Amino acid sequence: MREKFNVVKLDTTNTSLVFAVNDGNLGIAHYGKKITDLPQSDSLDMFLLNGQWGASVDRFNITKMSYSFVGDGNMRESLVSVINSDGTYTSRFVYKKHSLVNGGIPLDDLPCARNAEKTLIVELADDYANLTLKQYYTVFKDSDIIAVRQELTNNGKGNVTVLRLMSLQLDVSGTSYNCVSFNGAWARERYRKDTAVTAGTWMIQSMGGQSSAIMNPFFMAKNPDGNGVYAFNLIYSGNHKEIVEACNDINSTRFLVGINDYCFNLTLKAGETFATPQAVMLFADSEQSVTSEMHNFVNNHIVDPKFAYKDRPLLLNNWEGTHFSFTEEKLLELADKAAELGVELFVLDDGWFGHRDNDASSLGDWYDYKEKLNGSLGKLADKIRAKGLHFGIWVEPEMISEDSDLFRNHPEYAMIVPGREPIRRRNQLVLDLVNKDVQDYLIKEIGDVIERCKAYYVKWDCNRHISDIYSATFENTGEYFHRYVLGLYRVISALKKRFPDVLFESCSAGGNRFDLGMLYYMPQTWCSDMTEPRHRLSIQEGTLYAYPQSAIGAHVSACQNSSFESKFNVACLGAFGYELDATKCTQEELEIIKKQIVFYKQHRHLLQFGKYYRLKSIFGRERKSSWIIISEDKSEAIAFLAETDELINSVPSEWRFTGLDDNALYSFEVRPQNNFKSDVIASGTAGGDALNNCEFSFGKLFSDETDRQPYGTPLATRLIYFKRID
């Protein structure tokens, strides 16, 4: 038996994924820290549990596998589930062969990670059912991420129904993983939640057609021995599902990541192949390493290289300042103020098209609202550019208002189940993006908008979920959700091709579609409609677990309850801007904004692309927050400190930093803020080793805030700039 073992090892910088092939079965021998020498074949059952462990494993004698299916006697959630052409549910996939090729094997219609180093292709087959399952494991030179996807091909003559095909399966030892997911709602996106999965099945998913604010596809699973963290994500923007199954019978845990099988069944005709999106997995020694790896991966392998490390413009968006009520005069006044303050990009948000004065009309009519704009959009954009600003525009392409010419002329473009009243959210319906005519209409109409205002930036919004799935142009509704995403990607790809230099920002009622699929096309995503800094602290920290600062749209607004300085200190950790009516700001506020803009521009590259370390977590027991951003050569850094509790009769917190050069001497200076007294000691020098290892109280810094509320300061924040001087 033993001589039949064949071992396949795939290495990343710090990890190894080892498969062992035994008699037509493929087991996962190891996934974790890198191993250099493989044990001799004689000792392989050190890795693989292939003993006689009863009914649950007696078919394959292997507990940890990279694939699973229905009908193998191993009754767990499976990677693939089909109805064969003979109407049966049973599958028997066995290992056939594998090969290693250079580079990645990207797909035409789905985003796949860029700049791959090599790909392991494992081929499995169910000969009886005439099905081939190919697994693609892709690694990257500078990364510990492994991207995984599957392809199922029907080599037979009849139709096969695919009920589920996940992108990734990983089985690991033990059954007490602490799973960390990022869940929430509109204006409360990506709050960290910890769940111990010790028995049964735990799941996160989305069902509304977008990756959702409710449950992001990114999650981590922490090893019960405190020994390492697995992390997963999906390069996809539609319904997703992540399953963690604690299999107490065989003491292992299964992870599955992929397209949600909710309302899903796909017809695979003779000769057809279904390819899943790519999922990504990572093994790292700590949560911090997961974050750093994920950030590097997004910047090096997801985001369009043209924008990857390009400084993002500082913008002013009119939405929170004016909502739908604006005139050309108002916009020009705002633009004047923006230019005076040092803003670089003016973004005209919702309300510039059709006859849109509220959210009940005009979606789909992407022509200029000339009465409101006092002329054409192009002319307005020219006037704004003449003030020295770039011009950006908001669109919501996937939607249609019933009060629109588009709906009057093409009611069939809206996604409505015939004979049923559709669900209306925000007074709007969703366009049927499965219909190629609709896709082509959008490519043309949105292309024309970008062209006629010569947009430097486009905010692509999507303000409701999908409910009434139906297309008059496609028979199998079980494929609808997925085909919608393919249609969306087709439209965006065409526009990106036509306008390669335009910076796109994705948005979905705030952060309802913050995922690697959208980031592949659009390098930044509006994080949340919640701009109140105390709440935003949680949203940004949650988002930063998996997505880098440069990908996170973060603005200061005129919302109540917090000082202007705290709004900036929180929002500056991202693709930054303002979203307020600057013409209504007091002179004092304008002076504050000007100084903030100077600070941001001075440190923009560091803030957007420096290495981010979480220090105190807002989700921790203390509910305080701090982080530090450090430049690659460790010559400079910015730290953020936030007291979130009322400081009544309490001693100030103590803060410790990390990641600075132990051997360097740093000068530090607290960013001057208008709301603390000038006699506060706010600068000095310190060794990197002291900063990395000692606790600092910064005593009076926090107690002397001048805009304290009568019973303390609900949110007090500071930024500290460090510069290596020796």
List residues near ligand GLA by CB under 6 A.
Answer: 319, 349-350, 394, 461, 463, 507, 509-510, 526, 529
Q: Which two tokens stand for residue 599?
A: 């600070």
Long-range contacts of 61-64 (CB under 8 A, 24+ apart): 61/22, 61/25, 62/22, 62/25, 62/27, 63/27, 63/171, 63/247, 63/250, 63/251, 63/252, 64/27, 64/28, 64/29, 64/171, 64/172, 64/173, 64/252
Question: CA 278, CA 272: separation in Å to the nearest integer?
Answer: 19
Measured from the CB atom, the residue of 72 and 581 that comes closer to ligand GLA is: 581
Nearer to ligand GLA, 124 or 462 (CB): 462
Q: How far is the CB of 312 from ligand GLA (least distance, A)?
A: 17
Q: Between the CA of residue 300 and those of 142, 507, 519, 521, 609, what are the distances in Å? A: 9, 22, 12, 14, 12
Residues 6+ apart with CB under 8 A from 319: 349, 350, 394, 579
For residue 49, give the nearest of 249, 324, 264, 336 by alpha carbon. 249
- Are residues 460 and 450 in contact, defined by beta-carbon separation less than 8 angstroms? no
Our answer to whether residue 432 is catalytic in this structure is no
Separation between Cα atoms, residue 468 and residue 597, nearest integer Å: 45
In this complex, which beta carbon is closest to ligand GLA, that of residue 189 or of residue 636?
Answer: 189
**Residue 509 beta carbon to ligand GLA: minimum distance, rounded to whole angstroms:** 5
Q: Spot the catalytic one: 144, 368, 529, 661.
A: 529
**348 touches 391 (CB < 8 A):** yes
Q: Which residue has the tokens 């916009």?
A: 331
Q: Which candidate in 261, 350, 461, 581 is catalytic?
A: 461
Identify whether the C-beta of residue 69 lies closer than 8 Å to the C-beta of residue 80: yes
Residue 483 has which token pair? 């085909």
Nearer to ligand GLA, 324 or 499 (CB): 324
Kindly state the tokens that stand for 713.
């300061």
How far is it, in rounded angstroms, from Cα 456 to Cα 432?
28
Min. distance of Cβ 187 from ligand GLA in angstroms? 9
Would you say the C-alpha torsion 346, 492, 485, 123 has a positive or negative sign?
negative
Nearer to ligand GLA, 206 or 528 (CB): 528
> Is 529 annotated as catalytic?
yes
8 Å CB contact between 525 and 510 = no
**What is the smallest separation between the CB atom of 510 and ligand GLA, expressed in angstroms?**
4
Q: Which lies closer to ligand GLA via its Cβ, residue 510 or residue 688?
A: 510
Pairing state between β 524-526 and 503-506: parallel
Residue 461 or 565 having the CB closest to ligand GLA: 461
The least distance separating ligand GLA from the CB of residue 324, rounded to whole angstroms, comes to 8
Reported as type and span, the H/E element at residue 666 is: strand 665-670
Q: How far is 516 from 523, CA to CA, in rounded Å?
A: 10
Nearer to ligand GLA, 392 or 659 (CB): 392
The count of C-alpha atoms lying within 13 angstroms of the C-alpha of 79, restricted to the half-sphere facing its C-beta, is 27
Q: CB count, 10 Å around CB of 194?
A: 11
Kind of pairing between the strands at 683-687 and 665-670:
antiparallel
- Our CB check for ligand GLA shows the closer of 208 and 510 to be 510
| One-letter identity of residue 336 | D
Q: Which residue has the tokens 């309850």?
A: 561
- Residue 268 or 571: the one with the smaller Cβ distance to ligand GLA is 571
Contacts of 167 (CB under 8 A, 6+ apart): 148, 149, 150, 234, 257, 258, 259, 276, 277, 278, 279
CB of 403 to ligand GLA, least distance (A): 16
DSSP state of 276: P
Q: Which residue is nearest to ligand GLA (CB)?
A: 350
Residue with tokens 């292939």: 50
Q: Give the pair of three-digit tokens for residue 32.
A: 């974790």
Residue 223 or residue 463: which is nearer to ligand GLA going by CB? 463
With b for 16 or more beta-carbon neighbours within 10 A and e for fewer, the 229-257 pattern comes to bbbbbbbbbbbbbbbbbbbeebebbbbbb
Q: Identify which of residues 277 and 553 has a Cβ nearer to ligand GLA in the complex.
A: 553
Tokens coding 384: 């704004």
Looking at beta carbons only, is 257 or 509 nearer to ligand GLA? 509
- What DSSP designation does 147 have? E
Residue 542 in tokens: 């949650």
Both tokens assigned to 386: 């003449």
Q: Give the C-alpha separation, 571 to 510, whole Å.
A: 15
| Torsion angle defined by CA atoms of residues 663, 665, 666 and 667, in that order, rounded to the nearest 10 degrees | 170
From the CB of 310, what's the least distance to ligand GLA, in Å? 23
Closest C-alpha among 491, 542, 221 to residue 366? 491
Residue 551 near residue 517 (C-beta atoms within 8 A): no
What amino acid positions are annotated as catalytic residues?
461, 529
